[in-house]
Structure 1
Amino acid sequence: MKYCAFLRGVNVKGTNMKMAEVCQVFKDAGMNDVASILASGNIVFSSDKKADELKKILEKAMSDHFSYEAYLFIKTQEEIESFWNGNPFGKDENLHSYTFVGNDGVEKVLMQEFENAAKADDEDAKIVNNIFYWQVPKGNTLDSTFGKILGKKSLKDQFTSRNINTFEKILKKF
């Protein structure tokens, strides 16, 4: 089966790694057809194992190799298609759209945080098919109230986010 692993916290705040080295860790852990998409920690691969088993194997391999606490979210090709196809926001040159990959139920936690946050004009969030989507004016991603909430340590093992365009690139790689 084909999968994509979304790594949390890669190449931010001092956790720097080369994607070629990450791919080698995946290969050494028994994954096949391994390739990276962008430098933000998106690794496509194939395996006969189930996603929950892969999560344990790959988090341990990444943690051991890079000496950090690795968090990965493993999704199937079908799930990736759902992320892409469910995007409720149209393309807009002035806005970024993000999709959140995470544990079951995290979309409700994120929506609660979003509803409690101060918002910029044109900032919006929606849940579609249990997937949380966020749209924010370009240049406001890290400065927005909600953007700052996303860095909370209490949430780091719950989700990671990607620009919606990343999902299109992943699907093309499949």
Structure 2
Amino acid sequence: MSGYAVFLRGINVGGINIRMADLRDALTSCGFADVKTLLASGNVVLTSEQGAAAVKQQIEECLRTSFGYDAWVVVLAAGRVAELVEACPYPEDDRETHTYITLASDAAMLDELDAAGAALEGSEQKRLGPEALAWLAPAGGTLDSPFSKISSKARFKATTTTRNLRTLIKVRDAAAALS
């Protein structure tokens, strides 16, 4: 059994509301073990005998069937979440800025997002790997930041999701407990 972190895109915003207990029950009924949800924004750790690609496919099918929406997730091995947190050069907590990590299931789409962000004046970002890009936003102005506006475009919807660094640290710690 391998431990995974699963990041759901777009739940509990925009009319797609899923209770975490219902999410946990659905994933358990779809054959996953040790399912634990974190926060109410679609962060899950679980174990499976399958590889990450198969876990992604099975979870998306499970969510579509159980909750009736077009589900997209990013799945990372538990150890990879720890590596990404460690690789992030930005602070966990800062009064002036917030640190975010955009996770992707498609490296080419993240390449495109990375290039678009790099072209922005004053943008501060760092590629952490083929599946992750760390970036900063001013405190209190995340949704209005130029990078946030680019990353929220529809073309990235099916392949990316963003979490703040504090959330990734909580997911890392929960995923470590699976081992």
Maintained 8 Å contact 2:109/2:156: no
Q: Where in structure 2 are there 5+ consecutive unaligned residues?
A: none
- Residue 117 of structure 1 corresponds to which residue in structure 2? 120
Offset of residue 94 of structure 1: 1.8
If the length of structure 1 is used for normalisation, what is the TM-score?
0.92
Offset of residue 17 of structure 1: 0.9
Question: Where do 4+ consecutive residues of structure 1 move more than 3 Å?
Answer: 116-119
Say if 1:57 and 1:129 are closer, same or farther in 2 by CA, change over 3 A.
Answer: closer
- Residue 157 of structure 2 corresponds to which residue in structure 1? 156
The aligned amino acid for 2:103 is: V
CA distance in 2, matches of 1:7, 1:100: 12
Q: Does 1:128 align with 2:131?
A: no
Percent same amino acid among aligned pairs? 29
Maintained 8 Å contact 1:99/1:164: yes
Say if 1:118 and 1:11 are closer, same or farther in 2 by CA, change over 3 A.
Answer: farther
CA distance in 2, matches of 1:16, 1:154: 22
Q: Does 1:77 align with 2:47?
A: no
Q: Does 1:96 align with 2:64?
A: no
CA distance in 2, matches of 1:57, 1:165: 28
Maintained 8 Å contact 1:8/1:70: yes
Q: Where in structure 1 are there 5+ consecutive unaligned residues?
A: none
CA distance in 2, matches of 1:42, 1:75: 11
Q: Deviations over 1:58-83 (max 9, x none)?
A: 10110111111000111111111111
Secondary structure of 2:35 counterpart = strand
Count of residues in Structure 1 that have an aligned counterpart in Structure 2 = 171
Offset of residue 104 of structure 1: 2.3
Maintained 8 Å contact 2:5/2:44: yes
CA distance in 1, matches of 2:70, 2:121: 31
Q: Does 1:143 align with 2:144?
A: yes
Offset of residue 93 of structure 1: 2.0
Maintained 8 Å contact 2:113/2:150: no
CA distance in 1, matches of 2:154, 2:43: 21
Q: Decide which moves more: 154-163 or 107-116.
A: 107-116
Q: Deviations over 1:79-122 (max 9, x none)?
A: 11111101111342221101111122343212212123354xxx
Q: Decide which moves more: 90-99 or 50-59.
A: 90-99
Secondary structure of 1:132 counterpart = strand
The aligned amino acid for 1:107 is: L
Secondary structure of 1:17 counterpart = coil
Maintained 8 Å contact 2:5/2:45: yes
CA distance in 2, matches of 1:23, 1:94: 36
- Residue 88 of structure 2 corresponds to which residue in structure 1? 87
